[in-house]
Amino acid sequence: MIILRTMQMRFRWQLLLAAILVTATLVTTTSGCASSPRYDWAAERLVGYRVGPSDMLKIEVWKHDELLQQIPVRPDGAISMPLIGEVPAAGRTTDQIAGDISQRLAKFFQDKPTVTVSVNEVKSYRVYVVGEVTHAGEFSPTHTISILQALSLAGGFTRYADPDRIVLIRKDARGERRIPFNMTAVIEKAELVQDLDLQSGDVVYVP
Protein backbone atom coordinates (compact mmCIF):
# COMPACT_ATOMS: atom_id res chain seq x y z
CA MET A 1 0.00 0.00 0.00
CA ILE A 2 2.82 2.36 0.90
CA ILE A 3 4.59 1.50 -2.35
CA LEU A 4 1.40 2.26 -4.35
CA ARG A 5 0.99 5.67 -2.67
CA THR A 6 4.65 6.48 -3.35
CA MET A 7 4.21 5.63 -7.03
CA GLN A 8 1.07 7.79 -7.22
CA MET A 9 2.84 10.78 -5.64
CA ARG A 10 5.78 10.39 -7.99
CA PHE A 11 3.42 10.28 -10.98
CA ARG A 12 1.65 13.48 -9.82
CA TRP A 13 4.97 15.29 -9.46
CA GLN A 14 5.96 14.19 -12.94
CA LEU A 15 2.67 15.55 -14.33
CA LEU A 16 3.16 18.84 -12.45
CA LEU A 17 6.72 19.17 -13.73
CA ALA A 18 5.57 18.51 -17.30
CA ALA A 19 2.86 21.18 -16.95
CA ILE A 20 5.41 23.72 -15.66
CA LEU A 21 7.74 22.99 -18.59
CA VAL A 22 4.90 23.39 -21.12
CA THR A 23 3.82 26.68 -19.52
CA ALA A 24 7.38 28.03 -19.57
CA THR A 25 7.70 27.15 -23.23
CA LEU A 26 4.45 28.94 -24.09
CA VAL A 27 5.48 32.07 -22.18
CA THR A 28 8.85 32.17 -23.93
CA THR A 29 7.23 31.76 -27.34
CA THR A 30 4.63 34.44 -26.63
CA SER A 31 7.29 36.88 -25.41
CA GLY A 32 9.25 36.36 -28.60
CA CYS A 33 6.19 37.13 -30.72
CA ALA A 34 5.51 40.29 -28.72
CA SER A 35 8.74 41.97 -29.82
CA SER A 36 8.40 45.08 -31.98
CA PRO A 37 7.54 44.18 -35.59
CA ARG A 38 10.06 45.24 -38.21
CA TYR A 39 8.95 47.53 -40.99
CA ASP A 40 10.58 49.36 -43.89
CA TRP A 41 10.01 52.86 -42.52
CA ALA A 42 12.70 54.25 -44.85
CA ALA A 43 10.55 53.39 -47.87
CA GLU A 44 7.69 55.44 -46.41
CA ARG A 45 9.98 58.46 -46.11
CA LEU A 46 10.49 58.47 -49.87
CA VAL A 47 6.84 59.25 -50.53
CA GLY A 48 6.99 63.02 -49.90
CA TYR A 49 4.12 65.46 -49.45
CA ARG A 50 1.20 65.02 -51.81
CA VAL A 51 -0.59 68.15 -52.96
CA GLY A 52 -4.29 68.55 -52.21
CA PRO A 53 -7.17 70.85 -53.22
CA SER A 54 -6.80 74.50 -52.07
CA ASP A 55 -3.02 74.21 -51.64
CA MET A 56 -1.26 77.25 -53.10
CA LEU A 57 1.46 76.33 -55.61
CA LYS A 58 4.34 78.37 -56.99
CA ILE A 59 5.46 77.26 -60.45
CA GLU A 60 8.69 78.52 -61.97
CA VAL A 61 10.17 77.78 -65.39
CA TRP A 62 13.88 78.53 -65.64
CA LYS A 63 14.63 81.44 -68.06
CA HIS A 64 10.91 81.94 -68.68
CA ASP A 65 9.68 84.43 -66.11
CA GLU A 66 6.53 84.98 -68.14
CA LEU A 67 5.38 81.50 -67.06
CA LEU A 68 5.76 82.18 -63.34
CA GLN A 69 2.53 81.14 -61.61
CA GLN A 70 1.20 81.29 -58.07
CA ILE A 71 -2.10 79.46 -58.21
CA PRO A 72 -4.35 77.38 -55.95
CA VAL A 73 -5.26 73.80 -56.68
CA ARG A 74 -8.91 73.77 -57.65
CA PRO A 75 -11.50 71.58 -55.85
CA ASP A 76 -11.35 69.17 -58.81
CA GLY A 77 -7.62 68.69 -58.12
CA ALA A 78 -6.29 70.45 -61.24
CA ILE A 79 -4.43 73.68 -62.06
CA SER A 80 -4.33 75.74 -65.24
CA MET A 81 -1.08 76.74 -66.96
CA PRO A 82 -0.42 79.03 -69.96
CA LEU A 83 0.19 77.14 -73.22
CA ILE A 84 -0.63 73.71 -71.81
CA GLY A 85 -3.97 74.21 -70.05
CA GLU A 86 -5.15 71.73 -67.41
CA VAL A 87 -2.63 69.82 -65.30
CA PRO A 88 -3.66 67.32 -62.58
CA ALA A 89 -2.12 68.21 -59.21
CA ALA A 90 -4.03 66.69 -56.28
CA GLY A 91 -2.56 63.45 -54.99
CA ARG A 92 0.82 64.08 -56.65
CA THR A 93 4.16 65.26 -55.29
CA THR A 94 5.63 68.58 -56.42
CA ASP A 95 8.31 66.68 -58.37
CA GLN A 96 5.64 64.71 -60.25
CA ILE A 97 3.75 67.89 -61.11
CA ALA A 98 6.95 69.62 -62.23
CA GLY A 99 7.90 66.67 -64.44
CA ASP A 100 4.47 66.63 -66.05
CA ILE A 101 4.55 70.38 -66.77
CA SER A 102 8.07 70.16 -68.19
CA GLN A 103 7.07 67.35 -70.52
CA ARG A 104 4.00 69.23 -71.74
CA LEU A 105 5.98 72.45 -72.30
CA ALA A 106 8.78 70.68 -74.19
CA LYS A 107 6.97 70.91 -77.54
CA PHE A 108 6.94 74.70 -77.32
CA PHE A 109 10.70 75.15 -76.72
CA GLN A 110 13.90 74.00 -78.38
CA ASP A 111 15.22 72.57 -75.10
CA LYS A 112 13.16 70.79 -72.46
CA PRO A 113 12.43 73.46 -69.83
CA THR A 114 13.45 73.10 -66.19
CA VAL A 115 10.36 73.44 -63.99
CA THR A 116 10.22 73.91 -60.22
CA VAL A 117 7.02 73.47 -58.23
CA SER A 118 6.76 74.35 -54.54
CA VAL A 119 3.91 74.56 -52.05
CA ASN A 120 3.57 78.12 -50.74
CA GLU A 121 0.57 77.44 -48.52
CA VAL A 122 -0.72 74.13 -47.20
CA LYS A 123 -4.51 74.23 -46.91
CA SER A 124 -5.62 70.67 -47.63
CA TYR A 125 -3.63 68.97 -44.87
CA ARG A 126 -5.75 66.84 -42.51
CA VAL A 127 -4.50 64.19 -40.09
CA TYR A 128 -6.34 62.20 -37.43
CA VAL A 129 -5.39 60.88 -34.01
CA VAL A 130 -7.80 58.39 -32.42
CA GLY A 131 -7.87 55.96 -29.51
CA GLU A 132 -6.37 56.43 -26.06
CA VAL A 133 -5.32 60.08 -26.32
CA THR A 134 -6.57 63.11 -24.41
CA HIS A 135 -8.01 64.99 -27.39
CA ALA A 136 -8.80 62.61 -30.24
CA GLY A 137 -9.95 64.05 -33.55
CA GLU A 138 -8.99 65.82 -36.76
CA PHE A 139 -6.06 68.25 -36.94
CA SER A 140 -5.27 70.76 -39.70
CA PRO A 141 -1.75 72.15 -39.20
CA THR A 142 -0.36 74.57 -41.78
CA HIS A 143 2.65 72.35 -42.42
CA THR A 144 3.46 68.66 -42.34
CA ILE A 145 3.95 67.11 -38.90
CA SER A 146 5.40 63.84 -37.62
CA ILE A 147 3.73 61.13 -35.54
CA LEU A 148 5.24 62.50 -32.33
CA GLN A 149 4.02 66.00 -33.15
CA ALA A 150 0.53 64.68 -33.86
CA LEU A 151 0.46 62.86 -30.52
CA SER A 152 1.49 66.12 -28.85
CA LEU A 153 -1.35 68.00 -30.57
CA ALA A 154 -3.72 65.32 -29.27
CA GLY A 155 -2.63 66.09 -25.71
CA GLY A 156 -0.70 62.91 -25.04
CA PHE A 157 -1.90 59.52 -23.80
CA THR A 158 -4.61 58.45 -21.41
CA ARG A 159 -3.71 56.16 -18.51
CA TYR A 160 -4.95 53.15 -20.51
CA ALA A 161 -2.81 53.72 -23.61
CA ASP A 162 -0.22 51.26 -24.89
CA PRO A 163 2.37 53.58 -26.51
CA ASP A 164 4.42 50.70 -27.86
CA ARG A 165 1.61 49.38 -30.06
CA ILE A 166 0.64 52.55 -31.91
CA VAL A 167 -0.36 52.07 -35.55
CA LEU A 168 -0.23 54.56 -38.41
CA ILE A 169 -2.99 53.75 -40.90
CA ARG A 170 -2.11 55.07 -44.35
CA LYS A 171 -4.01 54.70 -47.62
CA ASP A 172 -2.64 56.00 -50.90
CA ALA A 173 -1.86 54.84 -54.43
CA ARG A 174 0.15 51.93 -52.96
CA GLY A 175 -2.89 50.67 -51.06
CA GLU A 176 -3.74 50.62 -47.36
CA ARG A 177 -0.95 49.94 -44.89
CA ARG A 178 -0.70 49.57 -41.11
CA ILE A 179 2.65 50.96 -40.02
CA PRO A 180 3.85 50.16 -36.47
CA PHE A 181 5.15 52.85 -34.12
CA ASN A 182 6.88 51.91 -30.87
CA MET A 183 7.25 54.89 -28.52
CA THR A 184 9.88 53.18 -26.33
CA ALA A 185 12.05 52.40 -29.35
CA VAL A 186 11.77 55.97 -30.63
CA ILE A 187 12.44 57.71 -27.29
CA GLU A 188 14.84 55.36 -25.53
CA LYS A 189 16.57 53.70 -28.48
CA ALA A 190 16.53 56.74 -30.81
CA GLU A 191 14.84 54.82 -33.64
CA LEU A 192 13.73 58.11 -35.19
CA VAL A 193 13.17 56.41 -38.54
CA GLN A 194 9.79 55.36 -37.10
CA ASP A 195 8.73 58.99 -36.54
CA LEU A 196 7.36 59.46 -40.06
CA ASP A 197 5.99 62.71 -41.46
CA LEU A 198 2.25 62.27 -41.83
CA GLN A 199 0.46 62.44 -45.16
CA SER A 200 -2.90 64.15 -45.44
CA GLY A 201 -5.54 61.60 -44.47
CA ASP A 202 -3.23 59.55 -42.25
CA VAL A 203 -4.75 58.12 -39.05
CA VAL A 204 -2.66 57.55 -35.91
CA TYR A 205 -4.34 54.94 -33.72
CA VAL A 206 -3.33 54.56 -30.06
CA PRO A 207 -4.64 51.31 -28.52
Compute mean pLDDT per 10 residues along the chain, 207 residues long, and list them: 46 41 35 57 84 96 94 96 95 95 93 94 95 97 94 97 97 90 95 94 97
Interatomic CA distance for residues 139 and 105, integer angstroms: 38
Q: What is the pLDDT of residue 37?
A: 60
Q: What is the pLDDT of residue 42?
A: 86
In this structure, are strands 78-81 and 137-139 parallel, antiparallel, or unpaired?
unpaired
Interatomic CA distance for residues 83 and 43, integer angstroms: 36
**For the chain, domain boundaries:** 56-121, 124-206
- To the question of domain 56-121 being in CATH 3.40.50.150, the answer is no
Sequence-distant contacts of 84-90: CB under 8 A, at least 24 apart: 89/51, 89/55, 89/57, 90/50, 90/51, 90/52, 90/53, 90/124
Q: What is the pLDDT of residue 174?
A: 82
pTM of the entire structure?
0.72
CB–CB of 200/126 below 8 Å?
yes
CB–CB of 162/140 below 8 Å?
no
Rounded to a whole number, what is the largest CA-CA distance in the chain?
109
Distances (CA, A) of 119 to 97, 128, 168: 11, 22, 25
Q: What is the pLDDT of residue 26?
A: 34
Dump strand ranges (E) for the chain.
Answer: 56-61, 69-72, 78-81, 85-88, 115-121, 127-131, 137-139, 166-172, 175-181, 203-206
Which CATH number applies to 124-206?
3.10.560.10
b/e 121-137 (16+ beta carbons within 10 angstroms → b): ebebbebbbebbbeebe
